[in-house]
Amino acid sequence: MSTGMKAHLRHGLRSIWRAMMDLLPSRWHIKLDHLRFHGSFPDLKNPKTLSDKIAFRKLNDRDPRMPRLADKISAKEEMAARFGADFIIPTVAVFANETEIDFGALPYPCVIKANHGSSLSVSLLARPENERAIRRKLRGFLRCNYHAIREEWAYSEIPRRLLVEPFMYPSQHGLIDYKFHTFGGRVFAIEVVTDRYTTHTGAVFDPQWNQMPCQIGSPPTPYAIPRPLELEKMLDYAEQVGSGFAYVRVDLYDIGGKAKFGEVTFYPGGGVDVFTPREFDELFGRQWKIPGAGSDLGEQLK
């Protein structure tokens, strides 16, 4: 079987799997996803690991603040209002759908992305030769029922639109993600994702930039990751954004030595990213507390 046929078969099998999962009640969809990646069902009665608690949040947490911060457009508006326009990557344009886009008027290179999910983007280094194909891809993004993929409720409440940003590729390793795992308004760990467009490697650091002996869903970066120039400022931004939430991941970039906002994520990895070693899943989970109450999320919310 050729490589192309294998890729087509894998795509077909994924589509069938997703269609089957969409027919299931949310609880069983979440449980089977967890079983597929973690090898066991999540403990939804007395969750202890970070993965279990994300699964529990997907079923139970309907905080009305979450959709606005999960929306890539409104989140940037809120961050600019709170911290200044220099904190965000500029939004070039916003479109209700792909038919509104005039490719001749866009500044290249640029990125066009949907606002209601992750990995729904296309990078354009120049005006595309096949504009119909790009419009078709963007239409697919807007039709994507993203919240149903992992049962992430906040995305179901977002009006779907497209936004355009300048293309950022500041180093040979691409746009490096600094993902601040924030519990009760305090950063516990910084997950760093490097070479996101190629090998997709990473590392985890504590707030003092000491590397932690674990990985989250990706192989280790094979080179030293330098401390961001504005680490202290990034920590402050993340903790201000995370204040008032028991847990949220705040994603930032370091572009030209300046901290820039990426996104806010309430369901990192959909709750299915595997920690290596696995005991770190429980270590992260122990940080998830409700302010002024006990540390057991299940007991607090059931």
In tens digits, the chain (302 residues) has pLDDT values of 666 665 556 656 665 656 666 678 999 999 999 999 999 999 999 999 999 999 999 999 999 999 999 999 999 999 999 999 999 999 999 999 999 999 999 999 999 999 999 999 999 999 999 999 999 999 999 999 999 999 999 999 999 999 999 998 766 667 889 999 999 999 999 999 998 777 889 999 999 999 999 999 999 999 999 999 999 999 999 999 999 899 999 999 999 889 999 999 999 999 999 999 999 999 999 999 854 333 444 334 43
Strand 162-166 relative to strand 275-276: parallel, antiparallel, unpaired?
unpaired
Asked if residue 112 is part of any domain, the answer here is no
**Total-model pTM:** 0.89
Q: Is residue 187 situated within a structural domain? A: yes
DSSP 167: -
Looking at this protein, which amino acid is placed at residue 58? K
Please report whether residue 250 resides in a domain. Answer: yes
Residue 278 lies in a domain: no
Instruction: Please check whether residue 95 lies inside any domain of the structure.
Output: no
Domain harbouring 207, CATH code: 3.30.470
Domain boundaries, position 189: 170-265
- DSSP H or E stretch at residue 247: strand 247-255
Total domain count for the chain?
Answer: 1
